[in-house]
Amino acid sequence: MSEATTLLDRVQELQDAATAQVAAATTTAELEDVRVAVLGRKAELPNLLRGVSELPPAERGAAGKAANVARGAIEKALAERKSSLASAEEAVKLAADRLDLTLPGSPQLPDGALHIITSTWRDVEDVFVGLGFSVLSGREVETTHYNFDALNHSPTHPARAATDTFYVSDDVVLRTHTSPMQVRAMEQYDPPLYVVIPGRVYRRDYDATHLPQFHQVEGLAVDVGITLSDLKGTLMAFARSIFGGELDVRLRPHFFPFTEPSVEIDVACFNCTDGWIGGDRCPVCRGEQWLEILGAGQVDPNVLRAVGREEYHPERVQGFAFGMGIERIAMLRSGIPDLRLYMENDVRFLEQLR
Ligand code: DAH
């Protein structure tokens, strides 16, 4: 047997062994090890190829060709195996990474809720919208003309004192009530007028039942022949919707510069009627057993005159007005007696009022 024949046999053996190893590899990593073992720098086949130059010239051609063919066959087998292993590995990886889009999100976000003042504001507004009133909003920085003068406050009225009212300048204040919108509404719209005006108001007060900034809803109805019984009927309907008709309500004569006659409407103290026997020491009503919820009355003719429009002349139209504190209503409904808690934004407190 010539050297060349032996070499050709060896090449065939190496090719057979290599293709068997390629077929046996089960991962692309294993396959790479096979490639290094059979075609790498230290592998036998490439070294045989290098040895071809030492053969007798007549045998070199056949041996070189055989070795190159073997090498090409192994490279082809490697490439085919690589692509099939790679796609199998890709399929396994995709299956493992699969997302179930129907699973609930994680973590679950807590639901938000309206602040009790906002929800009470909206509830009050809804009742009056249901009774046919429109909703207006006004400015929080107001002139003393609208806040006091046009509302028939005398020049020496105590509410004007700098100890009660936040002054921006001599004739500009943070409005102390929503009532200034009465005159502004009448200036802007013709009668018949049925409006409520919710908004923020400011006073120099701070204790369990008074905040320096709080919310009111003003009401104004102006039409031909409006009487105090229209006011009473409207406010009874309001109280029934908001309190569910369980708490007692009473009307008391009172005084406001911008209404004549004026009344205050009280609701029974929830803290006492719930069976708390604190008597005079009840922190909510201080023993009164009644809580003032709103002031009201027939619009004073002087206020109609301050509008300065013929349409609002007191001999043509009459009106009723009322103003209530939204915090008061919220306090009555939630049973939480300290208004300061509402504004401190302690989530542990607010969560209980959802
Ligand atoms: N503006 C009054 C206050 O803040 C509340 C009020 C009383 C409003 C009588 C009115 C009213 O419209 O007629 O205390």
CB of 295 sitting under 6 A from ligand 1: yes
Q: For residue 304, what pLDDT is reported?
A: 98
Residues 74 and 141 in one domain: no
CB of 322 sitting under 6 A from ligand 1: yes
CA of 349 to the centre of ligand 1 (A): 30
Residue 105 in domain: no
CA of 305 to the centre of ligand 1 (A): 18
65, 97, 129: which is the final residue of a domain?
97
Q: How many domains does the chain have?
A: 2
97, 126, 154: which is the final residue of a domain?
97
Residues 92 and 123 in one domain: no
Read off the tokens for 97: 């990474």
CA of 324 to the centre of ligand 1 (A): 7
Residue 104 in domain: no
pTM here? Answer: 0.68
Q: For residue 284, what pLDDT is reported?
A: 66
Residues 93 and 47 in one domain: yes
Ligand 1 atom nearest to CA at 176:
4
Residues 190 and 83 in one domain: no
Residue 92 in domain: yes
Q: For residue 48, what pLDDT is reported?
A: 79
Q: For residue 183, what pLDDT is reported?
A: 98
Closest CA to 141 of 64, 202, 186, 213: 202
Residue 274 in domain: yes
CB of 138 sitting under 6 A from ligand 1: no
Return the HEC string of the chain. CCHHHHHHHHHHHHHHHHHHHHHHCCCHHHHHHHHHHHHCCCCHHHHHHHHHHHCCHHHHHHHHHHHHHHHHHHHHHHHHHHHHHHHHHHHHHHHHHCCCCCCCCCCCCCCCCCCHHHHHHHHHHHHHHHCCCEECCCCCEEEHHHHCHHHCCCCCCHHHCCCCCCEEECCEEECCCCCHHHHHHHHHCCCCEEEEEEEEEECCCCECCECCEEEEEEEEEEECCCCHHHHHHHHHHHHHHHHCCCCCEEEEEEEECCEEEEEEEEEECHHHHCCCCCHHHCCCCCCCCEEEEEEEEEECHHHHHHHCCHHHCCCCCEEEEEEEEHHHHHHHHHCCCCCHHHHCCCHHHHHHHC
Residue 108 in domain: no
Residue 307 in domain: yes
Per-10-residue mean pLDDT for the chain, 354 residues long?
A: 71 90 92 91 83 81 85 92 92 89 80 90 97 96 98 94 95 98 98 98 88 95 95 86 73 95 83 62 76 91 97 97 92 79 85 79
Closest CA to 14 of 44, 40, 34: 44
45, 64, 97: which is the final residue of a domain?
97
Residues 135 and 67 in one domain: no
Question: Partners of 10 in the beta sheet?
Answer: none
CA of 178 to the centre of ligand 1 (A): 8
Residues 20 and 144 in one domain: no
Protein residue with its CA nearest to atom 3 in ligand 1: 177
Q: For residue 158, what pLDDT is reported?
A: 92
Residues 165 and 248 in one domain: yes
Protein residue with its CA nearest to atom 5 in ligand 1: 323
Residues 211 and 329 in one domain: yes
Q: What is the CATH number of the domain that holds 209?
A: 3.30.930.10
Residues 186 and 87 in one domain: no
Domain residue limits at 151: 116-351
Residues 8 and 152 in one domain: no
CB of 256 sitting under 6 A from ligand 1: yes
Ligand 1 atom nearest to CA at 324:
5
Residues 93 and 157 in one domain: no
Residue 287 in domain: yes
Residues 144 and 290 in one domain: yes
Query: String of b and e for 44-59 (b: at least 16 CB within 10 Å)?
Result: bbeebbeebeebeeeb
Residue 140 in domain: yes
